[in-house]
């Protein structure tokens, strides 16, 4: 899956779940208060299901999930390391 497709999917998922019309791909969703702890778990579940990656304890670094761009980078790294 290409980077733009991942960014679009992740961006749409976040927008739908936080009640926004659009999202800046560099916006820190935690710092802005858009993400609750429940939504963080839902987001990780979404990523595992839709991008076929396994989020491990070592991956639970806020930097991996703080923005659409960082989530995209995380998914790309996971996909590349699985090959």
Q: Full-prediction pTM beyond 0.75?
A: yes
User: Coil, helix or strand for 28?
Assistant: coil
Q: Over range 9-30, report the average pLDDT.
A: 94
Exposed (0-12), middle (13-18) or buried (19+): which is 2, by Cβ within 10 Å? Answer: exposed
- Residue 44 CA from chain centroid, whole number: 7
Q: d(Cα 48, Cα 34) in Å, to the nearest integer?
A: 21
pLDDT at 75: 96
Q: Which residue, 70, 78, 29, is CA-closest to 51?
A: 78
pLDDT tens-digit series, residues 31-83: 999 988 899 999 999 999 999 999 999 999 999 999 999 999 999 999 888 76
Q: Which domains does the chain have, with CATH numbers?
A: 3-82 (1.10.1200.10)
């Amino acid at each position: 899956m290409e980077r733009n497709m991942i960014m679009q999917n992740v961006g749409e998922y976040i927008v739908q779940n936080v009640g926004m019309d659009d999202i800046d791909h560099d916006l820190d969703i935690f710092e802005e208060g858009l993400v609750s702890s429940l939504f963080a778990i839902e987001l990780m579940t979404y990523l595992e299901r839709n991008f076929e990656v396994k989020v491990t304890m070592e991956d639970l670094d806020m930097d991996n999930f703080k923005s659409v761009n960082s989530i995209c980078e995380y998914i790309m790294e996971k996909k590349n390391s699985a090959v």
